Amino acid sequence: MPNALRRRFAASPCPAGGFHSRQPVATSSTWWLAAAMLFGLLLPAPAAAAEPVTAPKPAAASTDNGAAPASPQTAANGTRTVAELTRMVRDSVVVITFEGRNGKTAGLGSGFVISKDGLIATNLHVIGEARPISVQTADGKTYPVQAVHASQRSLDLAVLQIEAKNLTPLVLGDSDSLEQGQPVVAIGNPQGLKHSVVSGVLSGRREIDGKPMLQIAMPIEQGNSGGPLLDMQGRVHGILTLKSLVTRNLGFAVTVNALKPLLEKPNPVPMNRWLTIGTLDEADWTTLFGAQWRQRAGRILVSGRGEGFGGRVLALSRRETPELPFEMGVEVKLDDEEGAAGLVFHADGGQKHYGFYPTNGKLRLSRFEGADVFSWRVLEDVSSRHYHPGEFNALRVRIEAGRIRCYVNDALVIDSTDTVFTEGSVGLASFRQTEATFRQFRVGKELPPSRPDAAVVAQVTELVQGISPDTPPEPELVEALLPTAGSSTRILEDRARLLEKQARRLRELADQVHEQAARAQLVEVMQAESEGKPVDLLRAALLIARIDNPEVDVEASLARAERIVSEARESLPEDASPAKRLAALDKLLFEELGFHGSRTNYYSSSNSYLNEVIDDREGLPIALSVLYLELARRLDLKIVGVGLPGHFIVRYEPEEGESQLIDPFERGLRLTRDEAIQKVKSLREELEWDDEYLREQSAKEIVERMLQNLMGIARDKRDSATMLRYVETLSALNPDSPDWRWFRAVLRYQTDRFEPALEDVGWLLERDPPGISRRQVEQLQQVCQEAVARQAVDKSPSE
C-alpha cells in the first residue's frame, strides 16, 4: 500500500482518555468522532517517570590526553550539579558542520575536544562522506578540518584534526565502570540549538549492530549526535549516537572505551583524500543537480535532496552510448516506496531526458523537457505484479527507432512510441529526496535476462524439493547445482523469500485463529451482564491477556487467585465481620504478598495483563483494582470499580455504614471524597470536577477501559496491527457501535486488510450515522477499492 495513503488514513485517532488508566475516560462519543476524522494526528508518547538515584562511587579515568584531572575539592565533595558541570565542560564541546554540493551547510552535529592540540571526537555519520567539514569552538571561532585523524565505520566513530592550540580537552572515563542507574549528562546541539544540556540516567547496556552501546534515559535529538555523555564528575563515558524510535525519552551512546583504540592506533586521512572517499569515479560518471552519490562494494547509493525540479538528481554515464537499438538496465531498491529512482536515457546533459522508475508501488515512464512542473510529462504510470516493493527490482529499457520498451524483472510493463527525444546519454536518477541503492548498471546491444530461464528454474526446484529442514544440505546437492551456480543462487534466494513470506502468513493465520477464539470467549463471559448476572471480571481480564498471548493459562491464574482467597479465609474466624474480612484481605495482599502499583515501567503491557500482575505483584491502577474487587467478591464483600479520570480506584459498599474509597495502586490507601478530587486535579488540572466520576463502573466499562489502555500502549509504539487486535475486540463487544466500526475500518486499511475494511465502510454508508463524515468514509472506500484492484492485478496470471 502506498505510504502516502497510509499516512492519510493514519490509525492514531484514539479516545481522549481511555488509553492509560492515568487518563480520563470520555463520557460521550464526540471525542471519538472528532479524533477519527484527523487521520494524520499522532499523539505524543507519555514521558517516562523519573526515579530517584544515588550517587555512584567515582570511576577511574584516563587523563593522558592533556585534560586537567578533577580538582581535589570536586573529588572530596563527590558529584557536581548539572549547572556546575555545564560551566566546567562547555568550552570543550564543539559544533560540527559539513557542506553540501552547493557549498551551504548540509548537516550539523556535535563533538568534543579530546586533546589540547586539536583532536575532536564525534560520530562518523555526523561528518558525512566526501564533504568539507568545519568545527566551531565555544568561543565562536571556526576551523576547517585538516584531516580525519581516525575513523571506524562499524563503530560510527571519527576523530578530527583541526589547527588549534591550547584547547580544553575532556577527561575520558572508563565506560565499563559506569553503573546502571548512575546519573549522566549530555551536551550537544539538538535541532541546531547550540550547547543544549539534558540529564538522565544510565538505564542499561546494549549491543546494536555490533556496537557496544550505553542505553540512557534521556531524549536524544538530531544535532546531539557526536556530543559527550558525562558522569557527574565531568568524565566522558560515551559518544551520543542514536535516539529511540519507540519513545522520545530514550537514547544510546557508543562507549568511550570503544573510542580509545582509535586514539592508540589512528588511521589519519588528509582532507584532500577524505573528499574522494566513496565518491563516484569522475572518469565514469557526471553528476547533476546536487544530492550525494556514493559507491561502495559494487553498489551506487544516492541520498539527499537535489536542486532540480521535484528534488531531481542525475548521474550520467560517461561511457559511449551504443547506436540504436540498444538496452540499458539496473537493479534498484528504494529506501521508501513513496520515493522514486531509476533509469534515465536520451539525456542532453541538462534538464531534458526520459526517465523509467518505480514510485508509489507503480512503474512510470516520464519525459522531462525543462526545469519546472510544466515541462514534466508522465507518459505511462502502471501497476505490475512483477514489481516487488522493498526489494531489488531489475529495470530494463530497450530503445529502438520510434519505440521504447520498459521492463521490470523481465516483464514488459510499458511499450511507448514517444519520439520527442532520440539521442543522448544514459544513467541513473533519483527524485524527491529518495534514498536508493543501485547495482549492476549495464548498457549493451542486448542484455541477458535478469531472471533465470524456466528450464533452469524447474531443474533447481526439482533438486531442492526434498531438502531436509533438519540437516545441512548434502555435498551431492551442492555439486549438482554448481553448473548453474549464478542462476541457482538467485533461484534459491527467490524461493527462500517466498517460503519466508508464506511462513509469516501462516503465523499470522495461527495468531488470528487464536485471537478470535479468545475474543469469542471474552464476549461470552461479558454476555452475563446483559442477562442480569454477575460477570467474572477476573476471567474476563485474563482473557484479554490471552488474546495477546496464547500461553496464558486462564485456569491456572484463577486457581492462584482462589488460593489467595483461601489463605485470607484461613486467617479469619467463621463469623468474621465484613470489616475484618476486608482488613485480612488488605494485610495479605499488600503487606504480606507485597502487591503494589508499578513505579518503574508504568506503560508496559505487563502491567495490564492480569496473569502477569498476579505473578509480579504489580500493575496499573485498573488491573490491581480488578484483582482487588474480585478477590473481595469471593470473600462476600461488595466492592465496585470507580473510574476516576486518569486513575482507577474502587469503593467498598458495606451493608451497614458509610462507603469507603480505596486505592489498590497505593496498597489499599483509603481516600476521602476531597482526596479523590485532589488526585484528579493533580493528574488533570484542566478538568472540572463532576460527581459522575464517582459512579460505579459496569463490568463492560471496566473491560473496555483495560482494552483501551493496551491500545494506547500500541499507539505510542505506532503498532497498527496490535491496535487493530484491541479494536476488533471492542467492536465484538459493541457490534452496533459506528465509532468502533469506523476506527476498525481505518486500522484494517492501514494493515492492508482492504476487503474487511470495505465491509465496515459499507456498513457505515448504509446506516450513515450522525457525527461521522460521510465524505471521509467515501474517501476510505475509494482508496480501499483501488487497493483491492491492485491486488487483483498482482494475482492475475498475466499483465
Catalytic residues: 125, 156, 225
Beta-carbon contacts of 514 under 8 Å, excluding residues fewer than 6 positions away, are 550
**Closest CA relative to residue 440, chosen from 396, 391, 404:** 396
Q: What pairing do the DSSP bridges indicate for beta strands 393-400 and 403-408?
A: antiparallel
Give 253's strand partners. Answer: 214, 240
HEC profile of 221-276: CCCCCCCEEECCCCEEEEEEEEECCCCCCCEEEEEHHHHHHHHHCCCCEEHHHHCC
Say how far apart CA 219 and CA 221 lie, in whole Å: 6
**Closest CA relative to residue 435, chosen from 358, 312, 340:** 340
Q: Side chain identity at 26, as an amino acid letter?
A: A
The answer to whether the beta carbons of residues 237 and 35 sit under 8 Å apart is: no
State the virtual CA torsion across 712, 713, 715, 716 in degrees, nearest 10: 120
Distances (CA, A) of 130 to 122, 148, 271: 16, 11, 9
Beta-carbon contacts of 314 under 8 Å, excluding residues fewer than 6 positions away, are 287, 288, 289, 308, 344, 347, 353, 427, 428, 429
The answer to whether the beta carbons of residues 29 and 771 sit under 8 Å apart is: yes
HEC profile of 476-518: HHHHHHHHHHHHHHHHHHHHHHHHHHHHHHHHHHHHHHHHHHH
CA 174 to chain centre: 31
The answer to whether the beta carbons of residues 543 and 613 sit under 8 Å apart is: no
Which region holds residue 326: left if phi is over 0, alpha if psi is between -120 and 50, else beta? beta
Say how far apart CA 326 and CA 401 lie, in whole Å: 10
Say how far apart CA 610 and CA 604 lie, in whole Å: 12
Neighbours of 589 (CB within 10 A): 23
Say how far apart CA 434 and CA 302 lie, in whole Å: 8
Say how far apart CA 419 and CA 379 lie, in whole Å: 11
The answer to whether the beta carbons of residues 523 and 732 sit under 8 Å apart is: yes
Packing angle, helices 30-37 and 738-750, rounded to 10: 30
Q: Side chain identity at 506, as an amino acid letter?
A: L
Say how far apart CA 593 and CA 585 lie, in whole Å: 10
Which region holds residue 314: left if phi is over 0, alpha if psi is between -120 and 50, else beta? beta
Can you read off the three cell numbers belonging to residue 159?
576523530
The answer to whether the beta carbons of residues 121 and 241 sit under 8 Å apart is: no
